[in-house]
Amino acid sequence: MSTTTPLRTPEHDPYTPEQAQELHAERTGRRMSAGAFNARQLVTSLPDAFRKLHPRHQLPNPVMFVVWVGSVLVTVFAVLEPTVFSIAVAAWLWFTVLFANLAEAVAEGRGKAQAESLRKMRRDTVARRLREDGAEEEVPGNDLRVGDLVVVEAGQVIPGDGDIVEGIATVDESAITGESAPVIRESGGDRSAVTGGTTVLSDRIVVRIATKPGESFVDKMIALVEGAERQKTPNEVALTILLSTLTIIFLLVALALQPMAAYSGRQVSVIVLTALLVCLIPTTIGALLSAIGIAGMDRLVQRNVLAKSGRAVEAAGDIDTLLLDKTGTITFGNRRCTELIPVGGVDRGELAAGARLSSLADETPEGRSIVAFCAENHGVDNNGAAGDGAPAGEVVNVPFTAQTRMSGVDLDGRQVRKGAAGSVKAWIREHGGTVPSEVDDVVDAISAEGGTPLVCAEARDGSARVLGVIRLSDVVKPGMRERFEELRAMGIRTVMVTGDNPLTARAIAEEAGVDDYLAEAKPEDKMELIRREQEGGRLVAMTGDGTNDAPALAQADVGVAMNTGTMAAKEAGNMVDLDSDPTKLIEVVEVGKQMLITRGALTTFSIANDLAKYFAILPAMFMAIYPQLDKINIMRLATPESAILSAVIFNALVIVALIPLALRGVRYRPSTASALLRRNLLVYGLGGIVTPFVGIWLIDLLVRLIPGIG
């Protein structure tokens, strides 16, 4: 199994964890504020909205195409027989089409802003291509082909996407990820992929080009965030068919009203029939449907996640099973010191001093965690002493090796070691010491609980003794149990995938609160698990970064590849996390569900809206023929003309009013499907019925003041 590699190694990270957290919060805040809706976007998007009035753009949206045709028809009649009423209806029908275009233009505008920032980083470069004889030749970056080897040194721009085949370097990827700190990229492993347009800051690397000119990762990002490659998702297609069906039904209803009126001895004008049709078909959701889909992908971009299609975002909202790597996702990437257990009557402070002293030269994350734990919990100073000052004499560091499985220091006739239990016990006996029986009991207990025991010992004056046992544990990230409970409330089953033994896996799974776990997992085990879940009709999401993760990422319904991973992983997944944060998968699911909920809520509101408009327009149309209809004129609108015009105006203005909600999304709360349905019906169903009564009545108070209408 491939474990997730941290974005930056601690040795190269110029920030403390606290500083890194502040930088991340600041950068995230900037992205979120940039993505938030503001009124200025309406003004700046108006030119695009006018350009979208072309019938070629309206044709793919059946609802708005009917409105566009109706606007043209009413405009023709208004020109032939101009009246205040006909001109006003024609104007507001065009406003309806314009406001629908405006919703889409605003959504696309935010993507274009992101694309523009990406274009600034994309520039033509001169590549140093290696010939077969090993000599270098300078060629334009656009002449590179898949498989070419190029040399990139400090200060140079990587000319194309590819994998490092030789060397290690720090790379500035801030233009893509927004992260100012450089990252480490090296040949082999899961951190070999590099992106064209990023800058090498140090050392020398050889890159094998993996993409053709114009098909680089940045080119794909630009096309995707602009919406140029956006295709309708299955749910969106199904909803479009439903809206088209409703539009056809109401069109037939409107056509049938004219013979009914003629039979009663009256004629209903084409303008009134068109106004009725536009108000009764689901124009609100028809106008906002495209914007909702674009905004869903934009919300992922704000979180530095690139979705290759809207289908992937939508699938994330329907996920049933979530596969999560243990290391780096559920737990911190490395085991940490969580407890010191003295043995043989040794004082805990003496054990802490010895443990810290043996770890001062240990540059591994585990070693640093022991140093920090002893300082924070036992008051041991930086020299490994509890208030006794620096140890005297020459200090010799003893590094860890695979043969000795120990590390430590030698100083002033004293030797301090920590390491695997078997190795340290053998070392004790070599130096004339004995091992208390309780050591084995403590070691076995820690191992049974899924931890890693390290025995700490010292030798001096020809004898040796055990000081105690250090417990290293996989530390579950704060808040993970609560997040898994939220996912459980959504009906999502969580499965932890790890290469650890079943004992350790079970301990971490119980602590984190996941529903199930897969221990000692190999790539084929992940594939088998995904297929087994999918055979039961469930949708599966997972994260990965290595080449061996690629098959599982391709098999999963939602595969989120880490940006630090290999090109194979990024090509196999349908999303790429530019921050390489495996926990981002949970946010992806939330964004997907928010998009589905927003679409459902606005659909409910739109259809409920139409119900109220019956009570405004139908009495106005037929009250003169059927006086009994006056009983359902509950708003007491002034005249038939004012009632119809008020309904048309409300129909247009409600689109503008709902644009912020469509772009921002309905607030998501983890809940069951039945609870979400009840909330939708209560808030947006009831709200969709009440709002038109209030809105049309208020608009009528103003419209009735217009001469020729009131």
**Has 148 been labeled as part of a binding site?**
no
> Which 3 state secondary structure label does DSSP give 235?
helix
CB–CB of 348/340 below 8 Å?
yes
Asked whether residue 557 is marked as a ligand-binding residue, the answer is no
CA 458 to CA 381: how far, in whole Å? 19
Q: Is 116 one of the annotated binding-site residues?
A: no
Q: How many CB atoms lie within 10 A of CB 426?
A: 15
Active site residue: 325, 500, 581, 700, which one? 325
Helices (H) and strands (E) in the chain, counts: 25, 21
Helices (H), 150-194: 174-177
H-helix or E-strand containing 343? Answer: none
Annotation-wise, does 366 bind a ligand?
Answer: yes
Structure tokens that stand for 535 in this block? 């055979």
DSSP, collapsed to helix, strand or coil, labels residue 287 as helix
Q: Is 458 annotated as a binding residue?
A: no
| Residue 404 assigned ligand-binding role | yes
CA angle 447, 529, 550 (to 5 degrees): 100
Q: Show Cβ contacts of residue 651 under 8 Å, excluding neighbours closer than 6 positions.
A: 92, 96, 278, 279, 283, 284, 613
Beta bridge partners of 172: 199
Give the separation between CA 235 and CA 318, rounded to whole angstroms: 11
Q: How many residues does the chain have?
A: 710
**DSSP assignment string, 564-578:** TS-HHHHHHSSEEET
Count of C-beta atoms within a 10 Å radius of residue 151:
16
Q: Where are the alpha helices (DSSP H) in 449-501?
A: 480-489
Instruction: Report d(CA 61, CA 51) in Å as an integer.
Output: 16
Residue 564: what are its φ and ψ, rounded to 5°? Answer: -75, -10
Please indicate if the annotation marks 114 as binding a ligand.
Answer: no
Please tell me the distance from the alpha carbon of residue 327 to that of residue 582, in angstroms, as a whole number.
Answer: 9
Question: 52 labelled as ligand-binding?
Answer: no
If we measure between CA atoms, which residue out of 576, 612, 580 comes closest to residue 687? 612
Residues 6+ apart with CB under 8 A from 13: 20, 181
According to the annotation, is 407 in a ligand binding site? yes
401 annotated to bind ligand:
yes
634 phi, psi to nearest 5 deg: -70, -20
> Is 516 known to be catalytic?
no
Q: Please check if 465 is assigned to a binding site.
A: no
- In the sheet that holds 516-518, the strands lie side by side as 305-307, 575-577, 558-562, 540-544, 321-325, 493-497, 516-518
List binding-site positions: 362, 366, 400-407, 418, 545, 549
Binding residues for Mg(2+): 545, 549
| Residues belonging to the active site | 325
Give the residue ranges of the annotated binding site for ATP.
362, 366, 400-407, 418
